[in-house]
A and B are shown apart, each in its own frame.
Chain A
């Protein structure tokens, strides 16, 4: 008796019943592509932050000497009263200090320090910056650094003869704003173009503005203990999009946010973070 036809008859149903393979080569290739570690774009967070710190230390001594001679030695050390709100300040020059689209408005409780030797301005005490859709606060000190003024601009304002006669002809000014360094409970709040809340917080921060002709960038770097970052509102259950919040558990964490036009790019130190992700509520199934 020939058994071969019988074996074929038993195998054919098995072949029909076998499910198609669940993971294809294409799926495996996609998985490999997704899990392969990618080269991290280096935004230079640590380098620029440390450079700013070193510059600040160098100029602090001169400011302290001056404050002592001006009988204001406690401006840096003494505890401070809450920051004044804009409404409390009488303004005889109405309109000059109103927020405008192309301005940054800074209010501080203790004072503003300027030095002819450097292109820097120090804001002491509780400081609040408003502008460009962001609000930044800190409760210790804010230091603004400027680019040196352009020589050709200064020289080209007046004719040579007039410039020689006029002792104030060489108007230099402060140049364009280069960076802020903020210390003491720094908080940055803002909103993205699609209305998502953006929050960053930490002990120290560096806010830099690039000086490129065709693109205006700004970057915010936080470094140190207890850094926080939130995109969207993870506490809001009725939110539409995905939100997430991060807090650092490392003492040497850093986070850097780059604003390019209306886009926001964020990079953070590789380890030492607790992350909470909030997903939007699932749409109710159609009956």
Chain B
């Protein structure tokens, strides 16, 4: 009977130590933030109402190739009351989307749009005009969403696009 008691006394403190040891990793997890997230937060460390001019945001993929490039002539930091998050309201924006080899595929001109920092998305609710870089494609719409990290875009309808195609040549019947 004494032996189990002795063993209990011996093991109890060690169990308590285990509990104490279990906490620090949780705290550590909270401290280890993604450097990208940290950069995003630093961008927001300006008060609402602040105005930034000529903002340029390039995005690269894992292979260090360009995915997109966003330029904003004038950015106003604002608080979104619905989501309790800070958004950047931009005016006179341009978005370049690149293909998987880093060549420019399209250029888009937007008069005003919101930049969602956390999602890294650009949401336009005004006229959007997209021109293919070789001049053979053009599209316009009343709004759109651009994912700057993946190079994807949706021009919200009603939307219109135009392609230039080669002229047909007449041939004789076989």
Contacts and interface: CB of A to CB of B under 8 A. Distances in A.
Given A97-B160, A173-B136, A103 B165 contact: yes
B169 A215 contact: yes
Contacts of B165: 102-104, 131-132, 176-177, 209
A75 B154 contact: yes
Contacts of A110: 156-157
A172 B105 contact: yes
Given A170-B104, A214-B169, A104 B163 contact: yes
A96 B103 contact: no
Contacts, number: 185
A107 B158 contact: yes
A88 B155 CA distance: 18
Interface string A170-204: 11111111000000000000000000000000000
Interface of B: 66-69, 96-106, 119, 121, 123, 127, 129-130, 132-141, 144-145, 147, 150-171, 173
Which interface residue of A72, A109, A112, A259 has the most chain B CB atoms within 10 A?
A112
Interface of A: 62-63, 66-67, 69-72, 75, 84, 86, 88-89, 92-93, 96-97, 101-117, 119, 121, 123-125, 131-132, 144, 149, 153-154, 167-168, 170-177, 209, 214-216, 218, 259-263
B154 A97 contact: no
3 smallest beta-carbon distances between A and B, as pairs: A116-B151, A173-B134, A172-B103
25 contacts: A102-B166, A103-B162, A103-B165, A104-B162, A104-B165, A107-B159, A110-B157, A111-B141, A111-B144, A111-B156, A113-B153, A114-B106, A114-B130, A114-B154, A116-B67, A168-B104, A172-B104, A173-B105, A173-B136, A176-B166, A177-B163, A209-B165, A218-B168, A261-B170, A262-B168
